[in-house]
Structure 1
Amino acid sequence: MVCALVYAYFLHKVWEINHTQRYELVLRSDSVALLSKTGLSPDLLLFRDQLDLRDLQRRGGLRLTLVDHNVLPDSDSDLEGAVVEVIDHHKLERVTSCCPVAVEPVGSCATLVAERVLQGAPQLLDSVVGTLLYGTVLVDCVDMSPDAGKVTPKDSEVLLKLEASVQTLPQRSELFKELQLAKFDVSGLDSEQMLMKDLKSVSGPDMSLGISVLYLPLQDFLVRPGVEAELSAFSQTMGYDSLLLMSISFTESQQPIRELGVFSLRQPIREQVSLYLEHAHNPNLELRPISCSHPHVSAFHQGNTAASRKKLLPLLKDFLLTLEQDVAVPPTPVNSLIEGCPLDQGLDLQDINPEVLYIQVCA
């Protein structure tokens, strides 16, 4: 959100929006806190649902710059011709592009936006713009802690440049704690809002998966009354075959705890997704099953706490790709027996029944 806001301001000033819907703003509690910190009213923001992008495109007045993602959602694929620039830190998914694309694996996309401002218009770095960028990098990189596995040398370098350029920045750790508390404040949110708060999705021809980040222990969410019915209704409304719940919480010493829940009313899908993630190696999530009272939820403790959703998404896309590539093995010819198979040595007729026959043939 900050990347879109600051880079739009940068473009407006130098060369002369954001995909969030207005009703979703309440779910962006850390963004709201950061805006409040800088004295910006949310009423000044322009939201996606206030614009008719297709009408602008028809009139030749649409130029889109993508920040913090590098492909348009399927629902906006017809707007691709209006994309003029991409700035992102996620895995590159664009197949071809006729516009400038800057994708770097840094901890925060705000690092890349801050770099543009520092190089192209450093005079714009007043206390407001500086604090917006500074706070976002701190949150994304978890207060620049190496243990979180997010921060890169460029994140650290840009943060130091911001501190040198803007003398009125808040104290680093205090700002991070303030924004982190706001980010993890889910009080007053119902289950649907908690699932919507930080939601992404991936889809293939045969399956659609939703991934919600929950800012509380997984069990605390799963004990909410009627939660399984709410998960079912939410998945149906969003068109998901399975919904993944990635929970993050912290110990008293501020060490992260990650848990993963896989929900689906269809057991084969739930087991398929769970099994793939359990055996994943790039990265290895180090999943360990934990007990769960809900029959349609498979729950896991995630030992690899550095594996955030950013790292899980490519795994899920690879999983969907394997579904597309799976080809049914052609049946063995009727008169052919593979040497060494159970039927090759004959079968006692007394032992034949439909169940045994099915097992032997499949073997």
Structure 2
Amino acid sequence: MEEFLSSCQRAVQAGSGVHVVLGNEACDVDSMVSALTYAYYLSKVRVQPIRRESDFVLRSDNVFLLRQLSLSPEHLLFRDQLDLRALHQEGHLRLTVPHHMNAGAVVEVIDHHLLEREASPTCPVTVEMVGSCATLVTERIIQKAPEILDQQLAQLLYAAVVLDCVNMAPSAGKVTPKDSQVAASLESRFPALPPRGALFNTLQSAKFDVSGLNTEQMLLKDMKAVSEGLNLAVSVLYITLEVSSYLERARNPALNLCPISSPHPHITAYEQGNSLASRKKLLPIVKDFLKGRDGHGHLGDMEDEEEESQVPPTPMNSLVEGCPLDDGLPHISAHDLEEKFSKMGARGAH
């Protein structure tokens, strides 16, 4: 695998056409592993889905997994190291992407969320509602090129499946029969794989390790964003007061929120009783809230709309909508966040 990554860098430097396997902007373990291993399967160029190399430190579980397998992050290529737009305009770019991205250079789609793009003769689409995209990549490799599987590649895929499927526990509501089947197949082929429980626990610990991160980095770590006339970021650390009453009334799904004390008057904190309602299921509620605001920023009659709404689909890991050839989200500084929270506090006081 390390030699493959080095060959990718040499191919980019040579200036020839490239086939980029691009994951979503979240760049969680599943996205990184799926992009890496599927590109290895295609024996083409692969680019990490996050935008800047400096952001990679925010994905502590990714860094931990690569180092555990003796793969240096220095061998990775990142989005800002390639001018995708220029390559596309020159006709030198082919993209394999998650389904929510649209660009003329896309030649294949593989993902595990709801279909947003129709298949075509020039762009095959593989979308199945499994717990991990790495499950689909593993299945493709086993079916088409099982000879490329070695201990290192198998452990990358296995780690992504186990982590995304929450240690394959049915109570978590993530694992599907296909995820279990793929995990069992990897275990039977590679008996030296680490035990599921131990692997999950070490990756889970690494995922929430924020040692060495400053306040801005902790807010950006695994941040999700939605945009419906107003751009709103949802961090693992804060929920704005302006959204809190709507979350309390949410029934689709019910969050079972119990207020807890907060050291800041403009921030409302809760203990969430419904552990199955992840941020992926919270974000559609936030998007519905934003859609219900009138031109003056006031909230309309959302209770009626909520009763009529259908169960929202689980969104993709990254709710940032757009094409991989665009300029992405603007940089968010610590000062910008502090100013935003101050304004929210001032509005709440009136």
- TM-score above 0.5: yes
The residue aligned with 1:39 is 70
Aligned-residue offset at 1:328: 8.3
Alignment-derived partner of residue 121 in structure 1: 145
Are residues 301 and 328 of structure 1, via their aligned partners in 2, closer, same or farther at CA, if it must alter by over 3 Å?
closer
Distance 1:102 1:286 in 2: 36
- Give the strand-richer structure, 1 or 2: 1
Which consecutive aligned stretches of 4+ in structure 1 deviate over 4 angstroms post-superposition? 95-98, 324-329
Aligned to 1:128, the other structure's residue is in SS state helix
In 1, distance between residues paired with 2:294 and 2:143?
44
Matched residue SS, 2:250: coil
Preserved CA contact (<8 Å) 1:3 1:109:
yes
In structure 2, what residue type is equivalent to 1:59?
E
CA distance in 2, matches of 1:319, 1:210: 14
Unaligned segments of structure 2, at least 5 residues: 1-31, 302-350
Q: 1:315 to 1:90 in 2, by over 3 A?
A: farther
Amino acid across the alignment from 2:261: S
User: Match for residue 56 of structure 2?
Assistant: 25
Q: Which residue of 2 aligns with 1:321?
A: 291
Q: Do residues 296 (structure 1) and 319 (structure 2) align?
A: no
Q: Cα offset for 1:152? A: 1.7
Q: Which residue of 1 aligns with 2:163?
A: 139
The root-mean-square deviation of aligned C-alpha atoms, in Å, is 2.5
Counterparts of 1:161 and 1:171 in 2: how far apart (Å)?
14
Instruction: Give yes or no for contact 1:90–1:310 (8 Å, CA) kept in 2.
Output: no
Alignment match, 1:109: 133
CA distance in 2, matches of 1:160, 1:96: 32
1:292 deviates by 1.4
Verify the 8 A CA contact 1:84 1:100 in the aligned structure 2. yes
TM-score (norm 2): 0.69
Match of 2:83 among 21, 35, 52: 52
Question: In the alignment, what sits opposite 1:177?
Answer: 201
1:44-70 Cα deviation digits (max 9, x unpaired): 111111000011001101111124xx3
| Percent pairwise identity | 56
1:97/1:319 CA distance change after superposition, 3 Å = farther
- Separation in structure 1 between the aligned mates of residue 36 and residue 81 of structure 2, nearest angstrom: 16
Kindly tell me the number of residue pairs found equivalent between the two proteins: 264
The structure 2 residue matched to 1:262, chosen from 203, 215, 239, is 239
Give the direction of change, closer, same or farther, for the CA distance of 1:148–1:327 in structure 2 (3 Å limit).
closer
Q: 3-state SS of the aligned residue for 1:63?
A: strand
Alignment of 1:1-363 (within 5 A): 1-12=32-43, 17-20=47-50, 21-67=52-98, 70-72=99-101, 80-92=103-115, 94=116, 98=120, 99-205=123-229, 207-213=230-236, 245=237, 261-263=238-240, 270-271=241-242, 273-323=243-293
Q: Which runs of 5+ in 1 are unaligned?
A: 73-78, 214-244, 246-260, 264-269, 330-363
| Distance in 1 separating the partners of 2:118 and 2:195 | 42
Distance in 2, matches of 1:42 and 1:328, equals: 48
C-alpha contact 2:100 2:117 (8 A) present in aligned 1: no
The answer as to whether partners of 2:134 and 2:160 remain within 8 angstroms in 1 is yes
Instruction: Measure, in 2, the Cα distance between the counterparts of 1:306 and 1:313.
Output: 14
Cα deviation for residue 91 of structure 1 reads: 3.8
- After TM superposition, the score normalised by the length of structure 1 is 0.67
